[in-house]
Structure 1
Amino acid sequence: MKISVLSFLFYFFPLISFAQEINESDEARYLEEDKKKISVVGGMSYLHNSFGLLYEGRIFRLRPNDALYTEFFLRYRWLDLSFSFAPKLTNINNDDPEKGKTKYFNFGFTFFLSPKIRQNLYFSQIKGLYFQDTKEFFRVLYGNDYNEEGYLQFPDAKYRSFKGETSYLWKGDKSDYRSFNNMTYQPLKDVFVISTGLFYQYNVLSDMNKTIYQGNTFTEIDNSPSKDFRIALRSGVGVQEKIKNWYVILEIYPEIYYAKVIDEDFHEFNIGGYGNGRVGYDNGKWFFGAGAQLNLINSSNENFYSATQWLFRAGIGFRFNSPTFVNRNFDKIENILK
């Protein structure tokens, strides 16, 4: 079924290629004008993330409480930043006393080392987790008659993740691939790209020594952090179709990965896939859109590596002229880097 849907999308995209595209001179003029503009996006994201705990041959899920948070993107020329957090003024991620409170923070940036080499770097931290399979876990310990309600909470638990990806564009270059990064770039024309990327991720799960269950607090004196890393080789295609000010973007990347739990005899080679899609509107001054990401790992222990299964995001943004002194200073920096 999934293969049929993807085949339909790739068949459908060429049928809408009647959209007007800008010529090379218009594109060059736009790119030059874009150097003097700042793009800002604000929106919301929902991230479904789970961390597996292997016990007695079974995987039990450790999760943050409702991963809904605000997200912002800021871009000026090649400086492309993103950050997100759960605002304190709302009840986001804190609405269920049985699951505890969760705090989020993410920061990252993207840049091109050359017209065909793109670099992504990200840092994220989640504080406050709960044991989703609490009842099933206690039934393993005490038998199937255990029927107490509630969740084990780890209020001080921190999950920190350092991620990066270096990609090479076999077909296309940075002017073609700009709008695939995020909504701060205006899609200019129909694009087809082929790329190969090396993805690397280092994770640390720590501060699990404090536990809350049914209002009671328990403290474990000794608790060592759990560390793991994953390396994946991704290769795939991306398609962008533009109809006047509307656009559709789709990327699909099968991957081969290796994962290892540090200081433990647990590692694995396997296959997986990464997909990204977005639909939006952009008239050059203001824009909006919504999209989704999906990360699939073909593994019986897929939760163990703390991989994001899926993410939805929606946002709205605008562009405005940057101050003259900022343009002047960045011109000097770019002249030095040439």
Structure 2
Amino acid sequence: MKVTILPLLFYFFPLISFAQEVNEEEAAQYLEEDKKKISVVAGLSYLHNSFGLLYKDKVFRLRPNDAFYTEFFLRYRWLDVSFSFAPKLTHINNDDPEKGKSKYFNFGFNFFLSPKIRQYIYYSQVKGLYFQDTKEFMRLLYGNDYDEEGYLQFPDAKYRSFKGETSYLWIGNKSDYRSFNNMTYEPLKDVVVVSTGLFYQYNILSDMNRIIYQGNAFNEVENTPSKDFRIALRSGGGIQKKIKNWYAILEVYPEIYYSKLINEDFHEFNIGGYSNGRVGYDNGNWFFGAGAQLNWINSSNENFYSATQWLFRAGIGFRFNSPTFVNRNFDKIDNILK
């Protein structure tokens, strides 16, 4: 299904590589000026994510309660930092008391090892989960007559994920690909990129020993963290179309992956796909946009490997000149890294 989407991208945007609105000199000048600016973004995301517990050959879903959370991005040159949380003043997360509370934290950045080789590193954590399939699980234990309402809560549960990707740009380079990363980079021209990347992910589900159900707390004596890893080979491409200060970006990457549950006899090879799209406005000083991501895994146990099923994001940001002493120190670092 995903494999057929990529050719359609080029059908809807014919001859995109010839529609350059910014010449090389203007692009080089902008990139030089951008070194002395700081980009800040505040956004709101809706995340649909689920994890799995395997019991008697059946996967039961664990979910974070908070679906909405705020994101903040800060970029200066190659330093690109993001973090997220749900401030109480915004009231964007009206937690269902039966599902407990969830907290998010993530941190990640991108950089290029060369004009063609891109490195992506990301860490994320969610604390506080609930058992979405509580009734089904209880009926498996106590019979089909069980009809109590409520959810099993794991208030201390942590799901930590360490992710990375090393990709090679067959078509395009780091200056073309900058704006595909996030909104802090201004799109300069129409762009086509094609790349192949190796994606790797290590996940840990831990601290499941405290359980709350129907207002009662239970403590398990022993709880062993569940660990798994995933490796995927992704090949695909993306396009960026710019009309004055408006732009649209779309990427699609079919993948072949291998997943393994550590210390358990459970693994599989399968296929999947990653896609990302965004539309927005950017005049160089301030900008806004909205987009969506979709991870698709062709597996009956896809929840077990913790893939974001879908995510919607909207944000607004601005750029301002960085202090002189910051520029001076980063110039020294850049000279060392050359």
TM-score, shorter chain, exceeding 0.5: yes
How far the C-alpha of 1:80 sits from its partner, in A, is 1.3
1:239 lines up with 2:212 in the alignment: no
How far the C-alpha of 1:81 sits from its partner, in A, is 1.4
Change (3 A) 1:210 1:91: farther
How far the C-alpha of 1:39 sits from its partner, in A, is 0.7
Query: What does residue 208 of structure 2 align with?
Result: 208
Residue 118 of structure 1 aligns to which amino acid in structure 2?
A: R
Query: What does residue 109 of structure 1 align with?
Result: 109
Is the CA contact (8 Å cut-off) linking 1:102 and 1:128 kept in structure 2?
Answer: yes
Query: What does residue 13 of structure 1 align with?
Result: 13
How far the C-alpha of 1:110 sits from its partner, in A, is 1.1
**Farther-moved stretch of structure 1 (326-335 vs 271-280):** 326-335
Separation of aligned partners in 1, 2:168 and 2:220: 47
Residue 207 of structure 1 aligns to which amino acid in structure 2?
A: D
Is the CA contact (8 Å cut-off) linking 2:5 and 2:252 kept in structure 1?
Answer: no
Residue 50 of structure 1 aligns to which amino acid in structure 2?
A: S
The SS at the match of 1:155 is strand
Deviations 1:155-197 (A, max 9, x none): 1111111111111111110011010000011101110011011
1:337 lines up with 2:337 in the alignment: yes
1:279 lines up with 2:279 in the alignment: yes
Change (3 A) 1:115 1:17: closer
Query: What does residue 323 of structure 1 align with?
Result: 323
Query: What does residue 133 of structure 1 align with?
Result: 133
Residue 104 of structure 2 aligns to which amino acid in structure 1?
A: Y
Is the CA contact (8 Å cut-off) linking 1:16 and 1:243 kept in structure 2?
Answer: no
Residue 199 of structure 1 aligns to which amino acid in structure 2?
A: F
User: TM (normalized to structure 2)?
Assistant: 0.95
Change (3 A) 1:122 1:262: same
1:155 lines up with 2:155 in the alignment: yes
Query: What does residue 62 of structure 2 align with?
Result: 62
Change (3 A) 1:197 1:42: same
1:225 lines up with 2:225 in the alignment: yes
Change (3 A) 1:235 1:19: closer
Is the CA contact (8 Å cut-off) linking 1:86 and 1:105 kept in structure 2?
Answer: no
Is the CA contact (8 Å cut-off) linking 1:279 and 1:291 kept in structure 2?
Answer: yes
How far the C-alpha of 1:88 sits from its partner, in A, is 3.8
How far the C-alpha of 1:47 sits from its partner, in A, is 1.1
Is the CA contact (8 Å cut-off) linking 2:125 and 2:160 kept in structure 1?
Answer: yes
Query: What does residue 302 of structure 1 align with?
Result: 302
How far the C-alpha of 1:44 sits from its partner, in A, is 0.7
Is the CA contact (8 Å cut-off) linking 1:99 and 1:129 kept in structure 2?
Answer: yes
Query: What does residue 256 of structure 1 align with?
Result: 256
Separation of aligned partners in 2, 1:117 and 1:186: 20
Deviations 1:184-232 (A, max 9, x none): 1110111001101111111111111111111111111111110111111
Separation of aligned partners in 1, 2:8 and 2:273: 19
Deviations 1:74-130 (A, max 9, x none): 111111111112224444445210000111111111111111111111111111100
**Farther-moved stretch of structure 1 (48-57 vs 273-282):** 48-57
Is the CA contact (8 Å cut-off) linking 2:40 and 2:184 kept in structure 1?
Answer: yes
Residue 302 of structure 1 aligns to which amino acid in structure 2?
A: E
The SS at the match of 1:114 is coil
The SS at the match of 1:138 is helix
User: Alignment length, in residue pairs?
Assistant: 338
How far the C-alpha of 1:73 sits from its partner, in A, is 1.1
* Structure 1 segments unaligned to the other structure (5+ residues): none
Separation of aligned partners in 1, 2:129 and 2:277: 29
Deviations 1:295-325 (A, max 9, x none): 0001111111111111110000101111111
1:37 lines up with 2:23 in the alignment: no
Change (3 A) 1:177 1:4: closer
User: TM (normalized to structure 1)?
Assistant: 0.95
Separation of aligned partners in 1, 2:94 and 2:260: 33
Query: What does residue 47 of structure 1 align with?
Result: 47
Deviations 1:255-304 (A, max 9, x none): 11111111111111111000000000001110000001100001111111
The SS at the match of 1:140 is helix
How far the C-alpha of 1:334 sits from its partner, in A, is 1.3
How far the C-alpha of 1:12 sits from its partner, in A, is 2.0
Is the CA contact (8 Å cut-off) linking 1:158 and 1:207 kept in structure 2?
Answer: yes
Residue 101 of structure 2 aligns to which amino acid in structure 1?
A: K
1:293 lines up with 2:290 in the alignment: no
Structure 1 runs (4+) greater than 6 angstroms displaced: 1-6, 15-20
Is the CA contact (8 Å cut-off) linking 2:38 and 2:74 kept in structure 1?
Answer: yes
Separation of aligned partners in 1, 2:107 and 2:120: 11
Is the CA contact (8 Å cut-off) linking 2:17 and 2:191 kept in structure 1?
Answer: no
The SS at the match of 1:170 is strand
How far the C-alpha of 1:10 sits from its partner, in A, is 3.2
How far the C-alpha of 1:68 sits from its partner, in A, is 1.4
Q: CA RMSD in A?
A: 1.8
**Farther-moved stretch of structure 1 (319-328 vs 175-184):** 319-328
The SS at the match of 2:315 is strand
